[in-house]
Structure 1
Amino acid sequence: MPKNKRPAPRKSSNSPEDKDEAVARMLSTMALNLAEQEDSESQGTVLAEQAVEFGRLIRKSLNQKKDEVLYDAIERAKYEDLGAYQYLRSQIEEASSVVVIRRDNAPAMEINAFVVPLLVQSTGGLKEADGFQDQEAFEALVKSFQDSELESARAKVVLMSHAYDLDEIDNITYSHLHEMVRDAYTSMTDKKIVIAAGLERSIAGWSATAFGADDTAVELRFLLGFALKRADDPFYAEPKDEAALDAWFDARMERYQQWTAKVGELVKRCLAPAGKPLEVSFLYQDLFHGGKEQGMAEYAMLQMMSGINHALAENKLDAGDVSVVVGPADEHGELLLRVNVYAASGDVLHGADKPLDLAADLQDEVNDVCDALATIGVTNLSVALKFDAHGQPVEVHAYSPELG
């Protein structure tokens, strides 16, 4: 995503920059008010009106393609209040990926953008030009979302005939995604052929890789799709009761796991020519931003573990011969989860950083990393309160799942 930058200094009280800054500031302030009252039973008329205006400002910024306003508002909220930051970001993400269309004398329709993140292992890496040449496999894959009850039988589902790499997905801004969702709606409902500029622009081409012909490559790819349905379709209605809701999600997960087993070969046929050996691991289908975050987190973990394994092999050491310290670090304002691997001498053999969202649960993040390290045989695990500006761990103690 683009870096969140402060707008340029004010030029005049009526300058566009000044107005955009005012909107960003207003969104951040509203998010703070609304986040504080989100769980309140009686929010009051004033707050309800503010919620309406809050949503209107987000949609207006999306429609006017003012991404800088949205990113700046999120950046402001990040340093003012964690709850406001989480609330504002989630509301912008939902507004950009889900659009409700209302027409006179017709039921409200909802269309959303979803992704299925994939981790694909191959020899030599995937080739973009080889993808989506098997039309029969692609059509069967699209149909499978409804056949396997991942989407309603009454919905319309389309997939982009392209596997997006991380850079392509990461370069889709909030307003661009909003444009893509609207493009998809027009394409799915208009009988005339229309130019879907937003959809076309999203396929920028894969970034170059340095895999050799015999290298084992693990790459992150995303299937991107759109689901159009009636807003009141009971298929998507989540139960109100907590126990029933848990069961509802469990059933959905079971269907998803069955779906991955059924479509594994179809996905391989879409990604590469017949005969090219691939291993495909599916992450969970989610709305665009949730799926993107899930894919990035899993890929970052794989890269981290790959680097550690390489360092062990290079130094001819077993995992049990080293000690590892895990803890948060701040690099130029960016929050990271750092993993340092130490030899018996105390020298750092390898260091790896994993991006850490401000709203992430640090205990869960540490547990995930330590679980992964344990699977490769690391037994000497410690956790630091933080890594200081010199890269030294502070307040180190032995790791336990309970303490983190």
Structure 2
Amino acid sequence: MPKNKRPVPRKSSNTPEDKDDAVTRMLATMALNLAEQEDSATQSTVLAEQAVEFERLIRKCLNQKKDEVLYEAIERAQDEDIGAWQYLRSHIEEASSVTVIRRDNAPAMEINAFVVPLLVQSTGGLKQAETFQYQPAFEALVQSFQKAGLESAKAKVVLISHAYDIDEIDRITYSHLSEMVRDAWASMTDKKITATPGLERSIAGWSQTDFGAQDTAVELRFLLGFALKRLDDPFYVEPKEEAALDAWFDARMARYQQWTTEVAPLVKRCLAPAGAPLEVSFLYQDLFHGAKEQGMAEYAMLQMMSGINHALAENQLAASDVSVVVGPCDAHGEMLLRANVYSAGGALLHSADKPLDLAADLQDAVDDVCDALATIGVTQLSVALRFDASGNPLEVQPYAPN
């Protein structure tokens, strides 16, 4: 009798692409399950285990630099459920910007990446080659975070001696930021000099601008820093009672506002030679993604108002001579908030858009735009339910502020 031959193993169809797609689907599904139970008083054992696996998968993707998996999972969750999309995006953002290090016989440590967005007005625009040329100002700026009570006196704080522009900050992916956090941890804890490829790669250089020498330029810049602290540092413990929590944040905001006044001269000196006529407006310090979003939103608003002002000047009209309709629109799958400017005769003079975050409250977003329009003198304001594919506003009603 012939001997039975060992069967030839089948080729696996489970390619790396298949595995990545499976992880993408798994993250989106987990986010949907966990988001639905987020406000529940009790969580099943199965969901508790899923939450642990959910965080592990996110960390694994970050460590393996699989940004495409994370971004595709966010897109998939967005198509399925806004709550799941918010849940997944927020957890990926936090995992990429905050790392907790636990070691035997040592307290647990946390390191995070924070950002301070700046709006800088100058004549002719900032010049990268002129920034961070005066070391004493930079050193004093770094020390100010603890002196002003923005970070714990027991923490370690470092600041990158570079003001990131919009394109640089936007190129930093989730895995790149996670790598930067690990680089910062190594440089802040190792006694020997260590390589920091993630940090070095993040400084790609500013994009070119076309400001003339005498033009008034308003530019968005980001100061990026890292804070290393004990996980149990009482300085960072937020009160549980609502009134106490509100007071805690109010006190923090007051310290921040005082800090902006005190460090404004240092920031100006870091951004330009002594005596340069700069005006700096500080947005609020936050973790990387929150601060980035805040800065982008504020800059988009400025661009919208600048475009409208330019249209008024071109048509030799005062703001009170025009009417503006504000409302959401869908531009090739991207949600925008649009402001159409019309002449007294009803002719469309200008259309300006700004990104609309799906997680944002639409009424708040409309109020912000209408407040800005009122500030420049627009008195005839209306709100549309939406703009159609041809750009026409639908179901227009007079704007009534809350």
TM over 0.5: yes
SS at match of 2:304: helix
2:239 equivalent to 1:239: yes
1:315 aligns with 2:315: yes
Map of 1:210 onto structure 2: 210
Residue 369 of structure 1 corresponds to which residue in structure 2?
Answer: 369
SS in 2 for 1:188: helix
Amino acid in the other structure paired with 2:218: V
Cα deviation digits, residues 347-386 of structure 1 (max 9, x gap): 1111100001111110000000000000111010000000
Opposite residue 120 of structure 1, the aligned amino acid is V
- Report the number of matched residues: 392
Please name the residue that 2:360 is paired with. Answer: 360
3-state SS of paired residue (2:320) = helix
Provide the residue aligned with 1:6 in structure 2: none
Match of residue 4 from structure 1:
none
Deviation, structure 1 residue 196: 0.1
Quick one: which amino acid aligns to residue 16 of structure 1? P
Secondary structure of 1:92's counterpart equals: helix
Asked if the contact 1:115/1:288 (under 8 Å) is kept, the reply is yes
Cα drift, residue 63 of structure 1: 0.2
Residue of structure 2 in register with 1:276 after alignment:
276
Does the 8 Å contact 1:137/1:269 carry over to 2?
Answer: yes
Amino acid paired to 1:146: Q
CA displacement 1:40-71 (0-9 Å, x = unmatched) = 11101111000000000000000000000000
Answering whether residue 78 of structure 2 is matched by residue 78 of structure 1, we say yes
Q: Distance in 2 between matches of 1:13 and 1:40?
A: 40
Deviation at 1:13, TM superposition (A): 3.0
2:293 partner amino acid = E
Question: Which residue of structure 2 aligns with residue 38 of structure 1?
Answer: 38
**1:165 — aligned with what?**
165
Does residue 49 (structure 1) correspond to residue 49 (structure 2)? The answer is: yes
Residue 64 of structure 1 pairs with residue 57 of structure 2: no
Q: Does 1:154 align with 2:154?
A: yes
Alpha-carbon offset, residue 12 of structure 1? 7.2
Once the 2 structures are TM-superposed, how far is the Cα of residue 401 of structure 1 from its aligned partner? 1.8
Q: CA deviation digits over 1:157-214, x for unaligned, max 9?
A: 0000000001000000000000000000000000111110000000000000000000
Q: Summarize the alignment of residues 87-236 of structure 1 with structure 2, pairs less than 5 Å apart.
A: 87-236=87-236
In the TM superposition, structure 1's runs of 4+ consecutive aligned residues that sit over 6 Å from their partners are none
**Contact 1:12–1:18 (CA under 8 A) maintained in structure 2:** no
- 1:260 matched to 2:292? The reply is no
**TM score, norm. by length of structure 2:** 0.97
Distance 2:242 2:76 in 1: 34
**Alpha-carbon distance between aligned partners in 1 of 2:100 and 2:276, rounded to the nearest angstrom:** 42
Instruction: Indicate the SS of the match to 1:167.
Output: helix
Aligned amino acid, residue 294 of structure 2: Q
Residue 334 of structure 1 corresponds to: 334
SS at match of 1:150: coil
Q: Rg larger in 1 or in 2? A: 2
The DSSP-based 3-state class of the residue aligned with 2:341 is strand
Q: Unmatched 5+ residue regions in structure 2? A: 1-10
Residue 347 in 1 paired to residue 356 in 2? no
1:298 matches 2:272: no
Aligned mates of 2:150, 2:127 — CA distance in 1:
29
- CA shift in 2, pair 1:12/1:329, >3 Å: farther
In structure 2, C-alpha distance between the alignment counterparts of 1:203 and 1:296, rounded to whole Å: 19
Percent identity, please.
82
Q: Which moved more, 1:261-270 or 1:11-20?
A: 11-20
1:14 is aligned to: 14
1:345 positional shift: 1.4
Give the superposed CA RMSD: 0.9
Secondary structure of the residue that 1:41 maps to in structure 2? coil
> Secondary structure at 2:291's aligned position in 1?
helix
TM-score (norm 1): 0.96
Amino acid at match of 1:236: Y
How far apart are the structure 2 equivalents of 1:373 and 1:175?
39
Q: Secondary structure of 1:58's match?
A: helix
1:249 Cα offset (Å)? 0.2
2: CA distance, partners of 1:170 / 1:12 = 38
